Amino acid sequence: DTEVTQTPKHLVMGMTNKKSLKCEQHMGHRAMYWYKQKAKKPPELMFVYSYEKLSINESVPSRFSPECPNSSLLNLHLHALQPEDSALYLCASSQEFDRGRRGDGYTFGSGTRLTVV
Amino acid sequence: DAKTTQPTSMDCAEGRAANLPCNHSTISGNEYVYWYRQIHSQGPQYIIHGLKNNETNEMASLIITEDRKSSTLILPHATLRDTAVYYCIVRVNAGGTSYGKLTFGQGTILTVHP
């Protein structure tokens, strides 16, 4: 398995709702990432998990709460979002984050397109 | 990570070579050059990376200038499916491998036309 799977593919939520995005990989990668991408803009890093521990939070508002239950799963819990949070949310994984490994590119999922109404 | 500069958009005829330039004049000795692309409504896809030698794989070739201040991604025979945004990224290298954050710039919108 060489894929990163994200669910759901599309999500519409109200500003008072609580929802979660899910990401899964079975490549044995020990680093996982959340990116946010607005229309016609490049992906922006939100969070980095390395060995199931949060390594980097790029000053993301607390209404976004990441969780890494095990080495294969990464969740992003959403609460009290704003319409401007509507975007494509991308998950990625790599073999390592802070240690060099040969050919250590990122593998991205296809994303969850989130609309906040 | 060093900043990169790419043209906003480029066109290419189907079947011809697409040459996408990238300027990374502030690159340091411990940084690799990576190329990713993003087809509409999909996640970014890894293409190729290199340090200072030219590299080739089944998707593309990467030509890095001797001073490492710029590089060119070459798609030898572009097809309509190569229409995408192409990102040039520099990333820290240690001991012959690379790790750390992958930070995207604005990228180049490549349009391949019939």
Q: Which pLDDT score, from 0 to 100, does residue A96 have?
A: 73
What confidence tens digit (pLDDT) does each residue in B97-106 have? 556 778 899 9
Contact B81, B37 (CB under 8 A): no
| Chain B partners within 8 Å of A113 (Cβ) | 41
3-class SS letters over A28-96: CCCEEEEEEECCCCCCEEEEEEECCEEEEECCCCCCEEEEEEECCEEEEEEECCCHHHCEEEEEEEECC
Q: Name the minimum distance, in Å, from the CA of A11 to any CA of chain B.
A: 15
CB contact under 8 A, B98 and A100: yes
Q: Which pLDDT score, from 0 to 100, does residue A102 have?
A: 52
Q: Best of B57, B97, B103, B106 to disrupt the A interface by mutation (most A CBs within 10 Å)?
A: B97
Interface contact A21, partner B, CB < 8 A: no
CB contact under 8 A, A102 and B97: yes
Q: Under 8 Å CB-to-CB from A29, ≥6 apart: which residues?
A: A71, A93, A94, A95, A107
**Residue B17's pLDDT band (cuts 50, 70, 90):** very high
Read off the pLDDT of each residue in B87-98 and give the average, rounded to a whole number: 69
Q: Which pLDDT score, from 0 to 100, does residue B32 have?
A: 86
Total residue count of chain B as it appears in this document: 114
Residue in B closest to A39 by C-alpha: B41
Distance between CA atoms of A24 and A75, rounded to whole angstroms?
9
| Chain A partners within 8 Å of B99 (Cβ) | 94, 96-101, 104
CA B111 to chain centre: 15
CB contact under 8 A, B104 and A92: no
Is pLDDT at B41 greater than 90 in this prediction? no
Helix (H, G, I), strand (E, B) or coil at B80: helix
pLDDT in tens, chain A (117 residues): 679 999 999 999 999 999 999 999 999 988 899 999 999 999 999 999 988 999 889 999 999 999 999 999 999 999 999 999 999 999 999 887 655 555 567 899 999 999 999
